[in-house]
Amino acid sequence: TAPTRLGPAYRRFLLAIFVFTLGNSSDLFLMWHAQRLGFRVHTLPLLWMGLNAVRALGATAGGGWSDRVGRRRAIVLGWTIYASVYFAMAYVRVPSIFVLLLLVYGLYYNLIEGAYGALVADLVPARARGRAYGLFHGLVGAATLPASFAAGALYAYTGPKAMFLAGAALAVGGALLLMTVSEARPR
Residue closest to 134 by CA, chosen among 1, 2, 6 = 6
Radius of gyration of the chain (CA): 17
The residues, ordered by sequence, that sit 6+ positions from 153 with a Cβ below 8 Å of its Cβ are: none
Give the separation between CA 166 and CA 146, rounded to whole angstroms.
Answer: 13
Position 182 scores a pLDDT of 82
Position 5 scores a pLDDT of 80
User: Block means of pLDDT (10 residues each) for the chain, length 187 residues?
Assistant: 75 96 94 95 96 93 91 96 98 96 96 93 91 95 94 94 97 97 67
Position 171 scores a pLDDT of 98
Position 132 scores a pLDDT of 93
Half-sphere exposure (Cβ direction) of 87: Cα atoms closer than 13 Å: 11
Position 47 scores a pLDDT of 97
Position 16 scores a pLDDT of 97
Beta-carbon neighbour count of residue 46 at 10 Å?
Answer: 11
DSSP the chain: -PPPP--HHHHHHHHHHHHHHHT---THHHHHHHHHTT--GGGHHHHHHHHHHHHHHHHHHHHHHHHHH-HHHHHHHHHHHHHHHHHHHTT---HHHHHHHHHHHHHHHHHHHHHHHHHHHHHS-GGGHHHHHHHHHHHHHHHHHHHHHHHHHHHHHH-HHHHHHHHHHHHHHHHHHHTT---PPP-
Position 37 scores a pLDDT of 95
Position 185 scores a pLDDT of 62
